[in-house]
Chain A
């Protein structure tokens, strides 16, 4: 078990180190999410309530995560490093988990900017809303890492990734918006937990089959 976690840690650390060197994905995500929020201000008609704004927050988060996920497997596909990892690790699911944790770190960093900006521009975010963001982020990254790996094996992967990702992200949007605006956020948070459990386990188990022949 500790070996497993050690592998995951080494892999996640590698991704964080790569991003620190290249510094292209994270700044782009931060800039994108803030710019999107500004666009939303102009897109919302005058009388639109807070509820509409919360909805748009989730649109912003989903598309920001897409931005990051599109580049998630780029280092592995560049010089064939994915084959190297597939050969080296005892359990291929560690590759998925390491990547998911790194993606979560990037998304979290972007949210650290986006959420205060949202509260500043539109409406305050309470405890349940933040919990919703946290839970949904896990789901987005877990599923996103797997789906991004699928797209990486295909032609036209930049275009393909949103098509694969968005239908799977819909339940997360429902859970997130519900936890923000519903008087009973507990149900929506529980639902997000369910999604995370189901799809994280599925992604964890299926990853092996996506990266091997």
Chain B
């Protein structure tokens, strides 16, 4: 029996379906948090988005490593798209985190959320990735330098996190604390559903963007060939 790979459209449809189910679960199934009330619901979106961003950066770095080790042509675009998706989801992490902070503590930003600060540093780092990439002429040099930078990124993630922890330990004593959610069964179910939906959505976006970029590249190559 053969297993057919689901088409992109199917996956997109599935993602929308899962998103719908998640919304239902978040608002109607998971109990409301005693302390934070309705604003706590943002957690179901914020954390999966953050996790997805990490995964995307990891994917970008993995493809970058493959590029450096094998010189395969496809890896550059895949690495770039991964980093791009990671940056988008990173920006969303910052936005949802900011909204959550406003809803919880009344401020749009706080330095006491380690994850938020980490994403700020990473966001800066990966924005510089694009500046670097588009300052170099297309070609193997650009591919390799982008790949090395992507690898530095994943090394930076744990090191930065440690640094921020150390900084908050002493330099910036925490003002706001938030109890990690002790999740009940329903909360966990809602979380997992949401996580699955967002991951699937990210994957669909990744594949779509990659296909678009590949088409662009082929079109340009075709034009060059015709112009001769």
Contacts and interface: CB of A to CB of B under 8 A. Distances in A.
B135 A155 contact: yes
A86 interface: no
Contacts of A163: 127-128, 131-132
B136 interface: yes
Contacts of A174: 163-164, 166-167, 171
A160 interface: yes
Given A174-B163, A174-B164, A209-B148, A167 B170 contact: no
A18 B148 CA distance: 29
B121 A191 contact: no
A164 B147 contact: no
Contacts of A153: 136, 141, 145
B151 interface: yes
Interface in B105-162: 121-122, 124-125, 127-128, 131-132, 135-136, 139-141, 144-145, 147-149, 151-152, 155-156, 159-160, 162
A175 B164 CA distance: 10
A178 B124 contact: no
Contact of A150 (B121, B122, B149, B166): B149
Contacts of B159: 171, 194-195, 198-199
Contacts, number: 96
Top 8 A-B residue pairs of the complex, sorted by shortest distance between their CB atoms: A154-B135, A171-B163, A167-B125, A174-B163, A163-B128, A213-B140, A206-B148, A209-B144
Interface of B: 68, 121-122, 124-125, 127-128, 131-132, 135-136, 139-141, 144-145, 147-149, 151-152, 155-156, 159-160, 162-164, 166-167, 170-171
Interface of A: 146, 150-151, 153-157, 160, 163-164, 166-168, 170-171, 174-175, 177-178, 181-182, 184, 187-188, 191, 194-195, 198-199, 202, 206, 209-210, 212-213
Given A150-B145, A171-B163, 20 more contacts: A154-B145, A160-B128, A160-B135, A163-B132, A167-B122, A167-B124, A168-B156, A171-B156, A174-B163, A174-B166, A177-B171, A178-B167, A184-B170, A198-B155, A199-B152, A202-B152, A206-B148, A206-B152, A210-B144, A210-B148
